[in-house]
Amino acid sequence: MAIVEYVRALGEGARKRHYHETSRGKVVAFVVQLEVDLRGVWVPVVRYDMAHGRAHIDVYETPRRKRKQFLALPPGEVMTLAEEDIRDNWEQYPEEFLRRNIP
C-alpha cells in the first residue's frame, strides 16, 4: 500500500490538505480538504473523503454544521473531482464560509 500526504498553501489564510492510499494502483482511501484560518484555528470548509464507507463531500456551513452529499463514483474519480473543485473554487468557498461565520 502506498500513502501520499501533504498540506499546501493556496493563499493567505487558505490551504489544501491531501491524503490518499492506493493498493495495486487503485485509490482505496482519501481525504481532500480545503481549510481556512478562522481566528487562528484551521477549520475545514469543504472536505471530500471516504468516511462512512462511501465517497462523499461535506460542505461546512459553520465549523460544526455541514451538508453531506454522497457521490456515486469510484474513489479515484471522486479524488480527482475533489482536486479540480478545490483548485477551481478555493477562493469562493472560504469567502462564503467566512461571511457566515465572522460578524
Q: Give 31-77 pLDDT, tens digit per residue.
A: 999 999 988 999 999 999 998 889 999 999 988 899 999 999 999 99
Q: How far apart are CA 5 and CA 21, in angstroms?
A: 9
Q: How far apart are CA 92 and CA 71, in angstroms?
A: 22
Q: How many CA atoms lie within 13 A of 74 on its CB side?
A: 6
Q: What is the pLDDT of residue 39?
A: 87
Q: What is the pLDDT of residue 86?
A: 97
